[in-house]
Amino acid sequence: MKPGERPDTVHLENLPCRWFANLNVGHDLNKPSEYILRKVFETFGDVRLVDIPMLDPYLRDINKNNGSIQTFSFSQDLSFEAFVQYKEYISFVKAMTALKGMKLMYKDEEKCFAADMKVDFDKTKHLSEENIKKRQIERDKLIQLEKEREDRVHRERKQEERRRQEEIRKQEEEQRERDERKLEKIKKRDARQREREVKRRQKLLEKKKREEEEKIATKKATEERCKLLEQRQCEATRLLNVLLDRVKEEKKKEEVEKKMKELEELRLRQLAEEQTRKDVELKNQEEEREKRKRKLTEEERLLRERLLKNLKLKREKLEEEKRERKRKEVAGKTKLRSVLVIKKNVDKRTRQKSSLTRLQSQIDLAR
């Protein structure tokens, strides 16, 4: 059988990366070294091939293309798996016998460390020539794809650079055209400004000429106006004296009328105050009468209530006496005694009627 298809390959898992790292300068201490791994496992015999999958940058893409399931663990950057293929079967047996169910120990200058590892023979024919060729073909394809992608990116960058240069050139041309248009505008503006300056000077000369003519005309008009004002001032002074005399007379009349008006207002105010005082007195008298009336009404109501209460009590007492009399008659009291009781009751009724008559007369008097 060909190498890789026979039992000659050891599959190791959970090997610490730092324990198999190359400590020389320029090497990554977090990645294992195939050279160190080979030297360690050559203890059991000559090694034909060593493969550490995590060192293959294209392995993940190869597994994707093959439809393999990708797993993830938090310790995948701290440990690794490896395949060690021996030249002879006896070396493979020695390695499997020595490592099966054992722990891996790393001895430092001061301390010793141990790590659990999984050891098994390769069941996937990972290091067979067929699988190696397949992986190499896939790797070559990926390398070719990466190269094509890089070439495409390079072409796109070149096209982008050419496009950017073209845009810069267009922007420069547009800027140059804008500058030319701007210079043209500036020239036209300067020409218009010179024309405006010439027109402005002509207008200033014409304005000065008009102002001189206006000054002369204004001076003449001012002199004539001054004469006219002097005449009007004299006339105004005479009119003012006449008006002042009239105003004095009118003022005296107004003062007399004002005093008469004040006296009349004072008399009316006094009359109003007197009328107000009388109204207040009448109102107070009316309120006093109302108070007395309300007081009498309240007393009458209270007296009536007392009378009605007394009448009610007397009626209740009479009813009680009637019931007592009937009880005594039923009990077989003597006729004489019953006659005396009746007489007594008649006297009581007479007294009650007289008292009611007196109360009624008192109520009438109170009203």
pLDDT by residue (tens digit) across 84-114?
Answer: 999 888 988 898 888 888 888 888 777 888 8
**For residue 73, what pLDDT band results from cuts at 50, 70 and 90?**
very low
Looking at residue 69, what is its pLDDT?
45
Looking at residue 72, what is its pLDDT?
42
Q: Which two tokens stand for residue 243?
A: 């008006």
The order of strands in the sheet holding 118-121 is: 47-51, 79-86, 9-16, 118-121
For tokens 């993830």, name the residue. Answer: 72
> Interior CA angle at 217 toward 215 and 218, to 5°?
60
Looking at per-residue pLDDT, the higher value among 334 and 308 belongs to 308
Q: Which of 97, 82, 90, 80 is nearest to 8 (CA)?
A: 90
Looking at residue 83, what is its pLDDT?
92
Looking at per-residue pLDDT, the higher value among 311 and 24 belongs to 311
Q: Which residues contact 36 (CB under 8 A, 6 or more apart)?
A: 20, 21, 22
For tokens 């730092």, name the residue. Answer: 18
CA separation for the pair 9, 20 (Å, rounded): 19
Burial classification of residue 131, based on how many CB atoms lie within 10 Å of its CB (0-12 exposed, 13-18 middle, 19 or more buried)? middle
Lowest mean pLDDT among 65-74, 177-186, 190-199, 203-212: 65-74
* Tens of pLDDT, residues 267-290: 888 888 888 888 888 888 888 888
What would the mean pLDDT of 108-124 be, rounded to a whole number? 84
Whether pLDDT at 75 is above 50: no
Looking at per-residue pLDDT, the higher value among 251 and 339 belongs to 251
Q: Are 23 and 29 in contact (CB under 8 A)?
A: yes
Whether pLDDT at 183 is above 70: yes
**For residue 365, what pLDDT band results from cuts at 50, 70 and 90?**
low
At 124, phi and psi to the nearest 5?
-105, 0
Looking at residue 345, what is its pLDDT?
65
* Tens of pLDDT, residues 306-330: 888 888 888 888 888 888 888 888 8
Neighbours of 151 (CB within 10 A): 10
Q: Which two tokens stand for residue 257?
A: 């009328």
β-partners of residue 82 are 12
Q: Which residues contact 42 (CB under 8 A, 6 or more apart)?
A: none
What would the mean pLDDT of 355-362 be, rounded to a whole number? 66
Neighbours of 213 (CB within 10 A): 10
- Please tell me whether the overall predicted TM-score, pTM, comes out greater than 0.85 for this model: no
Q: Which residues contact 2 (CB under 8 A, 6 or more apart)?
A: 128, 129
- Strand bridging mode 9-16 / 79-86: antiparallel
What would the mean pLDDT of 14-26 be, rounded to a whole number? 79
Looking at residue 77, what is its pLDDT?
67
Neighbours of 32 (CB within 10 A): 22
Q: Are 366 and 303 in contact (CB under 8 A)?
A: yes
Whether pLDDT at 339 is above 60: no
* Tens of pLDDT, residues 166-175: 999 999 999 9
Average pLDDT value over all residues in the chain: 82
* Tens of pLDDT, residues 210-267: 888 888 888 888 888 888 888 888 888 888 888 888 888 888 888 888 888 888 888 8
Whether pLDDT at 74 is above 50: no
